[in-house]
Amino acid sequence: MNTGEFGWRSSAWQKLVVIILVTALFIALELVVHYGFGIDIIYTHFFYPLLILAAFWYQRRAVYLGVFLAGAHITVEYLQNAAIEPGVLVRAMMFIAVAYILGYLFELLERRYADYHSYLTGYTDRGADSGRHLETGEEGAGAAVHPRDLQRLIGNLQSKNPDVRYKAAEALGALKNPRAVEPLAALLADEESGVRWKAAEALGQMGRAAVEPLTESLSDPNVDVRWMAAVALGDIGDPRAIDPLLKALEDEDTYVRSRAAMALGRIGEPARDALIAALRSEKENVRWGAALALGSIGGESTIEALIRTLDDASPHVRHRVIGALDEIGSPAIPYLIRGFNACTPTSCQSIAEAFGGIGRPAVEPLTRALRDGRWEVRAGAAASLGEIGDPTGVDALIESLDDERPEVAAAARNALKQMKKL
């Protein structure tokens, strides 16, 4: 739709003639007011109806008229007074600003009108032909959708209206037609964050057909494209994305790395071995991401690998490993207790912190561990009960104050102090 359809149905040259004549009229009126009546302020209001008309017809191009009027205003003032006062410059700048702002608003209004008209009439075309509207909610609907409807939806992804792009992406996601994959992948770079998110969600609904373009998007220069691609790959859960997502754990952006890790966690079991291997990476960010992902996967081999990583040189990684063990929860308890047998001071403290995150479910196993034959386990259990802070462990800790090993007694004493029971 052109400007003439939105505004008056007049030709371009007729509009130009009107603008020129009205401009000449207002300039003449300005001169009459200036030289005939000596009024030097109120005349500027004469130009604003002209700017409104120009903005209505020409949108932001009306700023050219604003510049012309500003120049004319300054020139007349200089010819009359041989000087230019600050107020004159302010009024001149107002011409330019008003022309641009009004033009932008009219342009926005025209786009919204045009896009919604196209969007609404597009969905009624098929209804007129077949007696029903396009259905997008049924499983596998994309295979049977009319080509014209599909192409219209894909075309709407290029709309200037973000609401139309959003709705088109939503509908295409429900259709799950592979032809929409590439256009939706391009929409990951949309200027509107809501549209980008809906495109990622739609691609996640597409399944295997979207894996290749999404993995390519993991290396896009735009950070939003990268993390949204990672989210969509997690929704799909295809093992083909494992290696590209592992590579994305090295991304310079923290958010991209975390979304890639979460996507690997959603892929689950197929990614386990690669993630356990990644815990030994030389790159701290990769180890951190692997720990985050493994917390969602769990399992014996995962828990054992995470416990081995509790003495990682990086506090950042250790903290993430503790979080992963907390997420796994109760299944990790016996492995953590056994971990006290051969832990370093750093990993012993990390195990205790992990128990602190697991909380109440660990209290009973830890109180039993206070009677273990190995003093390292008893000391670790006492420290862990202090981290948890549950009062049901107090009696067992008081008994441990008389432990034959000073290390255990000291740990119990510190735990009780931590719980404010001493």
pLDDT in tens, 202-243: 988 888 888 988 998 898 888 888 998 999 999 999 999 999
Could you tell me if residue 131 is left (phi over 0), alpha (psi between -120 and 50 degrees) or otherwise beta? Answer: left
Question: What's residue 251's pLDDT?
Answer: 94
Report which of 338, 340, 280, 270 is spatially closest to residue 313, judged by C-alpha positions: 280
**Burial of residue 2 (number of CB atoms within 10 Å: 0-12, 13-18, 19+):** exposed
Q: Kindly state the average pLDDT of the residues 184-206.
A: 87
Q: Which residue has the higher pLDDT, 5 or 273?
A: 273
Question: Does position 133 have pLDDT exceeding 60, yes or no?
Answer: no
Residues near 17 by beta carbon (within 8 Å), at least 6 away in sequence: none
Token pair for residue 269?
Answer: 């079991």
Could you tell me if residue 38 is left (phi over 0), alpha (psi between -120 and 50 degrees) or otherwise beta? Answer: left
Report which of 390, 303, 292, 286 is spatially closest to residue 339, judged by C-alpha positions: 303
Question: What's residue 25's pLDDT?
Answer: 79
Question: What's residue 78's pLDDT?
Answer: 76
Alpha helices in 207-241 (DSSP H): 211-217, 223-236
Task: Tell me the pLDDT band of 421, cut-offs 50, 70 and 90.
Answer: low
Question: Does position 24 have pLDDT exceeding 90, yes or no?
Answer: no
Q: Which residue has the higher pLDDT, 306 or 2?
A: 306
Rounded alpha-carbon distances, angstroms, from residue 346 to 117, 220, 260, 299, 342:
65, 39, 28, 24, 11
What are 212-221's contacts with CB under 8 Å, separation 24+?
A: 213/181, 213/182, 213/185, 214/185, 214/241, 215/240, 215/241, 215/244, 216/185, 217/185, 217/188, 218/244, 218/245, 218/247, 218/248, 218/260, 220/188, 220/189
8 Å CB contact between 59 and 107: yes
Token pair for residue 328?
Answer: 């796994």
8 Å CB contact between 222 and 251: no
Q: Which residue has the higher pLDDT, 129 or 63?
A: 63
Q: What mean pLDDT value characterizes the chain? A: 81
Q: Kindly state the average pLDDT of the residues 75-99.
A: 80
Q: Kindly state the average pLDDT of the residues 292-300.
A: 94
Q: Kindly state the average pLDDT of the residues 171-181.
A: 89
8 Å CB contact between 367 and 389: no
How far apart are the C-alpha atoms of 422 and 416, rounded to whole Å? 6
Task: Tell me the pLDDT band of 39, cut-offs 50, 70 and 90.
Answer: low
How far apart are the C-alpha atoms of 42 and 386, rounded to whole Å? 79
Task: Tell me the pLDDT band of 255, cut-offs 50, 70 and 90.
Answer: very high
Report which of 112, 105, 140, 146 is spatially closest to residue 127, judged by C-alpha positions: 146
Question: Does position 38 have pLDDT exceeding 80, yes or no?
Answer: no
Task: Tell me the pLDDT band of 2, cut-offs 50, 70 and 90.
Answer: very low
How far apart are the C-alpha atoms of 52 and 7, rounded to whole Å? 12
How far apart are the C-alpha atoms of 256 and 246, rounded to whole Å? 11
Report which of 162, 220, 175, 226 is spatially closest to residue 200, judged by C-alpha positions: 226
Rg (CA), the chain: 35
Q: Of the ranges 39-43, 108-112, 131-135, 329-333, which one carries the lowest mean pLDDT score?
A: 131-135
8 Å CB contact between 217 and 244: no
How far apart are the C-alpha atoms of 319 and 288, rounded to whole Å? 9
How far apart are the C-alpha atoms of 18 and 353, rounded to whole Å? 78
Q: Of the ranges 82-96, 199-213, 389-403, which one carries the lowest mean pLDDT score?
A: 82-96
Give 309-352 pLDDT, tens digit per residue: 988 999 999 999 999 999 999 999 999 988 888 788 888 888 88
Question: What's residue 103's pLDDT?
Answer: 83
Report which of 286, 282, 306 is spatially closest to residue 294, judged by C-alpha positions: 306
| Percent of the chain surpassing pLDDT 90 | 32
Task: Tell me the pLDDT band of 131, cut-offs 50, 70 and 90.
Answer: very low
Question: Does position 376 have pLDDT exceeding 90, yes or no?
Answer: no
Q: Which amino acid is at 146?
A: H
Q: Kindly state the average pLDDT of the residues 92-98.
A: 86
Give 279-292 pLDDT, tens digit per residue: 999 999 999 999 99
Q: Which residue has the higher pLDDT, 91 or 158?
A: 158
CA atoms within 13 A on the CB side of 175: 25
Question: Does position 129 have pLDDT exceeding 70, yes or no?
Answer: no
How far apart are the C-alpha atoms of 17 and 57, rounded to whole Å? 13
pTM, two decimal places? 0.59
Question: What's residue 281's pLDDT?
Answer: 94
CA atoms within 13 A on the CB side of 225: 18
8 Å CB contact between 265 and 297: yes
Q: Kindly state the average pLDDT of the residues 350-368.
A: 89
End-to-end alpha carbon distance in the chain = 80
Question: What's residue 121's pLDDT?
Answer: 40
In which residue are the tokens 């009107």 written?
Answer: 18
Rounded alpha-carbon distances, angstroms, from residue 62 to 58, 88, 142:
6, 21, 45
